[in-house]
Protein backbone atom coordinates (compact mmCIF):
# COMPACT_ATOMS: atom_id res chain seq x y z
CA UNK A 1 0.00 0.00 0.00
CA UNK A 2 1.23 3.50 -0.83
CA UNK A 3 2.27 5.86 1.97
CA UNK A 4 -0.70 8.15 1.27
CA UNK A 5 -3.13 5.25 1.56
CA UNK A 6 -1.60 4.19 4.87
CA UNK A 7 -1.95 7.76 6.15
CA UNK A 8 -5.63 7.82 5.17
CA UNK A 9 -6.14 4.45 6.84
CA UNK A 10 -4.35 5.72 9.95
CA UNK A 11 -6.64 8.73 10.08
CA UNK A 12 -9.61 6.39 9.82
CA UNK A 13 -8.18 4.30 12.65
CA UNK A 14 -7.82 7.42 14.79
CA UNK A 15 -11.45 8.30 14.10
CA UNK A 16 -12.48 4.78 15.05
CA UNK A 17 -10.50 5.03 18.28
CA UNK A 18 -12.24 8.33 19.08
CA UNK A 19 -15.63 6.77 18.30
CA UNK A 20 -14.82 3.92 20.65
CA UNK A 21 -14.56 6.43 23.48
CA UNK A 22 -10.78 6.73 23.71
CA UNK A 23 -9.49 10.04 25.01
CA UNK A 24 -7.51 11.77 22.30
CA UNK A 25 -6.72 14.96 24.19
CA UNK A 26 -3.00 15.65 24.40
CA UNK A 27 -1.14 17.88 26.84
CA UNK A 28 1.85 19.95 25.91
CA UNK A 29 5.29 18.72 26.81
CA UNK A 30 7.06 15.32 26.71
CA UNK A 31 4.12 13.40 28.21
CA UNK A 32 1.71 14.73 25.62
CA UNK A 33 4.15 14.04 22.77
CA UNK A 34 4.63 10.47 23.99
CA UNK A 35 0.86 9.99 24.19
CA UNK A 36 0.44 11.29 20.64
CA UNK A 37 3.23 9.02 19.38
CA UNK A 38 1.63 5.97 21.00
CA UNK A 39 -1.75 6.68 19.45
CA UNK A 40 -0.22 7.26 16.01
CA UNK A 41 1.76 4.04 16.23
CA UNK A 42 -1.35 2.05 17.10
CA UNK A 43 -3.27 3.68 14.28
CA UNK A 44 -0.56 3.00 11.71
CA UNK A 45 -0.11 -0.59 12.94
CA UNK A 46 -3.83 -1.21 12.60
CA UNK A 47 -3.86 0.32 9.12
CA UNK A 48 -0.85 -1.74 8.00
CA UNK A 49 -2.41 -4.93 9.36
CA UNK A 50 -5.61 -4.21 7.47
CA UNK A 51 -3.72 -3.53 4.26
CA UNK A 52 -1.46 -6.61 4.48
CA UNK A 53 -2.57 -9.76 2.64
CA UNK A 54 -3.97 -12.50 4.81
CA UNK A 55 -1.25 -15.12 4.44
CA UNK A 56 -3.07 -17.44 6.82
CA UNK A 57 -6.07 -17.93 4.53
CA UNK A 58 -4.54 -17.21 1.12
CA UNK A 59 -3.24 -20.27 -0.74
CA UNK A 60 -0.16 -20.60 -2.94
CA UNK A 61 -0.69 -23.82 -4.85
CA UNK A 62 2.41 -25.34 -6.45
CA UNK A 63 2.22 -28.36 -8.74
CA UNK A 64 4.79 -31.17 -8.43
CA UNK A 65 5.07 -33.75 -11.23
CA UNK A 66 6.82 -36.77 -9.72
CA UNK A 67 8.13 -39.92 -11.43
CA UNK A 68 6.23 -43.01 -10.31
CA UNK A 69 6.99 -46.68 -10.94
CA UNK A 70 6.05 -49.67 -8.83
CA UNK A 71 7.96 -52.96 -9.35
CA UNK A 72 4.98 -54.82 -7.89
CA UNK A 73 3.07 -53.85 -11.03
CA UNK A 74 5.52 -54.84 -13.80
CA UNK A 75 2.88 -54.44 -16.48
CA UNK A 76 2.50 -50.73 -15.78
CA UNK A 77 4.82 -48.25 -17.44
CA UNK A 78 6.51 -45.44 -15.50
CA UNK A 79 4.38 -42.34 -15.30
CA UNK A 80 4.41 -38.79 -13.96
CA UNK A 81 1.91 -38.09 -11.19
CA UNK A 82 0.97 -34.53 -10.28
CA UNK A 83 0.38 -33.31 -6.74
CA UNK A 84 -0.70 -29.87 -5.54
CA UNK A 85 0.96 -28.40 -2.46
CA UNK A 86 0.10 -25.17 -0.64
CA UNK A 87 3.47 -23.47 -0.16
CA UNK A 88 2.05 -21.48 2.76
CA UNK A 89 1.72 -24.76 4.64
CA UNK A 90 4.99 -26.33 3.52
CA UNK A 91 8.67 -25.87 4.28
CA UNK A 92 10.94 -24.13 1.74
CA UNK A 93 12.83 -27.18 0.47
CA UNK A 94 11.84 -29.80 -2.09
CA UNK A 95 12.24 -32.49 0.56
CA UNK A 96 9.65 -30.67 2.69
CA UNK A 97 7.17 -30.93 -0.17
CA UNK A 98 7.92 -34.63 -0.70
CA UNK A 99 7.42 -35.38 2.98
CA UNK A 100 4.16 -33.42 3.02
CA UNK A 101 2.90 -35.30 -0.04
CA UNK A 102 3.79 -38.67 1.49
CA UNK A 103 2.33 -37.87 4.92
CA UNK A 104 -0.84 -36.10 3.82
CA UNK A 105 -1.67 -37.11 0.24
CA UNK A 106 -0.07 -40.35 -0.94
CA UNK A 107 1.65 -42.72 1.47
CA UNK A 108 2.82 -44.91 -1.43
CA UNK A 109 5.26 -42.26 -2.70
CA UNK A 110 8.74 -43.66 -2.10
CA UNK A 111 12.04 -41.79 -1.72
CA UNK A 112 15.15 -41.83 0.45
CA UNK A 113 16.04 -39.28 3.12
CA UNK A 114 18.25 -39.18 6.17
CA UNK A 115 20.41 -36.32 7.47
CA UNK A 116 18.55 -33.32 5.96
CA UNK A 117 21.85 -31.41 6.11
CA UNK A 118 23.20 -31.92 2.59
CA UNK A 119 25.82 -34.44 3.72
CA UNK A 120 24.68 -38.05 3.36
CA UNK A 121 23.23 -37.76 -0.15
CA UNK A 122 20.28 -40.06 0.55
CA UNK A 123 17.78 -37.63 -0.99
CA UNK A 124 19.77 -37.18 -4.22
CA UNK A 125 17.43 -36.97 -7.21
CA UNK A 126 16.89 -35.12 -10.48
CA UNK A 127 15.03 -31.89 -9.74
CA UNK A 128 14.07 -29.61 -12.59
CA UNK A 129 16.53 -31.27 -14.94
CA UNK A 130 19.55 -31.18 -12.62
CA UNK A 131 20.91 -33.65 -10.09
CA UNK A 132 20.73 -32.20 -6.60
CA UNK A 133 19.77 -32.93 -3.00
CA UNK A 134 16.12 -32.46 -2.14
CA UNK A 135 17.00 -31.29 1.37
CA UNK A 136 19.11 -28.36 0.11
CA UNK A 137 17.15 -27.44 -3.03
CA UNK A 138 14.61 -24.66 -2.52
CA UNK A 139 11.19 -24.93 -4.09
CA UNK A 140 10.76 -22.67 -7.11
CA UNK A 141 8.08 -20.24 -5.94
CA UNK A 142 6.88 -19.61 -9.50
CA UNK A 143 3.38 -21.05 -9.15
CA UNK A 144 2.90 -21.21 -12.90
CA UNK A 145 5.86 -23.58 -13.31
CA UNK A 146 5.45 -27.28 -12.56
CA UNK A 147 8.26 -28.77 -10.46
CA UNK A 148 9.40 -31.98 -12.16
CA UNK A 149 11.18 -34.59 -10.05
CA UNK A 150 12.81 -37.79 -11.35
CA UNK A 151 15.13 -40.40 -9.85
CA UNK A 152 18.86 -40.07 -10.55
CA UNK A 153 19.61 -40.84 -14.21
CA UNK A 154 21.68 -43.74 -15.59
CA UNK A 155 20.75 -45.98 -12.66
CA UNK A 156 18.24 -48.78 -12.23
CA UNK A 157 15.16 -47.72 -10.29
CA UNK A 158 14.02 -49.70 -7.25
CA UNK A 159 10.78 -47.77 -6.88
CA UNK A 160 9.63 -44.21 -7.65
CA UNK A 161 12.54 -41.90 -6.70
CA UNK A 162 14.72 -44.65 -5.20
CA UNK A 163 17.70 -45.67 -7.40
CA UNK A 164 19.60 -48.94 -7.09
CA UNK A 165 22.95 -48.09 -5.47
CA UNK A 166 24.45 -51.58 -5.69
CA UNK A 167 26.92 -50.58 -8.40
CA UNK A 168 27.91 -47.46 -6.49
CA UNK A 169 28.71 -49.35 -3.29
CA UNK A 170 30.58 -52.04 -5.24
CA UNK A 171 32.82 -49.36 -6.73
CA UNK A 172 33.22 -47.70 -3.34
CA UNK A 173 34.34 -51.00 -1.85
CA UNK A 174 36.75 -51.64 -4.72
CA UNK A 175 38.37 -48.21 -4.46
CA UNK A 176 38.47 -48.02 -0.64
CA UNK A 177 38.64 -44.19 -0.54
CA UNK A 178 39.84 -43.91 3.03
CA UNK A 179 43.14 -44.07 4.90
CA UNK A 180 44.35 -47.53 5.88
CA UNK A 181 47.00 -48.58 8.36
CA UNK A 182 49.36 -51.50 7.92
CA UNK A 183 48.82 -52.37 11.57
CA UNK A 184 45.13 -52.32 12.46
CA UNK A 185 45.50 -54.02 15.83
CA UNK A 186 44.69 -50.74 17.61
CA UNK A 187 41.72 -49.93 15.43
CA UNK A 188 38.95 -48.38 17.52
CA UNK A 189 41.25 -47.87 20.50
CA UNK A 190 43.01 -44.66 19.48
CA UNK A 191 42.77 -41.88 16.93
CA UNK A 192 44.50 -42.16 13.58
CA UNK A 193 46.66 -39.13 12.93
CA UNK A 194 46.66 -37.99 9.31
CA UNK A 195 49.91 -36.64 7.92
CA UNK A 196 50.10 -33.88 5.33
CA UNK A 197 51.34 -36.42 2.80
CA UNK A 198 48.39 -38.73 3.44
CA UNK A 199 46.01 -35.83 3.08
CA UNK A 200 47.48 -34.86 -0.28
CA UNK A 201 46.99 -38.39 -1.57
CA UNK A 202 43.24 -37.92 -1.28
CA UNK A 203 43.07 -34.26 -2.30
CA UNK A 204 44.77 -34.76 -5.67
CA UNK A 205 42.44 -37.58 -6.70
CA UNK A 206 38.78 -37.54 -7.77
CA UNK A 207 38.04 -39.20 -4.44
CA UNK A 208 38.09 -35.73 -2.93
CA UNK A 209 34.61 -35.21 -4.36
CA UNK A 210 31.66 -35.82 -2.07
CA UNK A 211 30.52 -39.43 -2.25
CA UNK A 212 26.87 -38.45 -2.17
CA UNK A 213 26.03 -40.08 -5.52
CA UNK A 214 25.67 -36.73 -7.26
CA UNK A 215 29.43 -36.24 -7.42
CA UNK A 216 29.87 -39.76 -8.73
CA UNK A 217 27.26 -39.30 -11.45
CA UNK A 218 28.87 -36.03 -12.47
CA UNK A 219 32.26 -37.72 -12.87
CA UNK A 220 33.09 -38.38 -16.53
CA UNK A 221 34.69 -41.69 -15.63
CA UNK A 222 31.50 -43.20 -14.25
CA UNK A 223 29.85 -44.26 -17.51
CA UNK A 224 32.60 -45.55 -19.87
CA UNK A 225 33.76 -49.15 -19.70
CA UNK A 226 30.47 -50.46 -18.42
CA UNK A 227 29.97 -47.75 -15.82
CA UNK A 228 33.01 -48.18 -13.61
CA UNK A 229 35.53 -45.80 -12.14
Query: Which of 4-13, 157-166, 183-192 has maximum average pLDDT?
Result: 157-166
- pLDDT, one tens digit per residue, over 98-156 is 999 999 999 999 999 998 888 888 899 999 999 999 999 999 999 999 999 999 988 89
Q: Looking at residue 197, what is its pLDDT?
A: 82
Residue 96, pLDDT > 60, answer yes
pTM of the complete model beyond 0.85? no
What does pLDDT average to over the chain? Answer: 78
- pLDDT, one tens digit per residue, over 130-141 is 999 999 999 999
Three-class HEC string of 101-137: HHHHCCCCCCCCCCCCCCCCCCCEEEECCEEEECCCC
User: Pick from 181, 228, 182, 176: which is nearest to 205 by CA?
Assistant: 176
Amino acid sequence: MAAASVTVAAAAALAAERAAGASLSFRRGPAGALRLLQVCRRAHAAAAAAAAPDTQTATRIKKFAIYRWNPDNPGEKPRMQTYEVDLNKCGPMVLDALIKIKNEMDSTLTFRRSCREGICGSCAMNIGGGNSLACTTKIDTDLGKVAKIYPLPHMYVVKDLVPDLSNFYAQYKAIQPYLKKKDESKQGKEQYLQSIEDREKLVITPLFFSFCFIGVLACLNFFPRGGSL
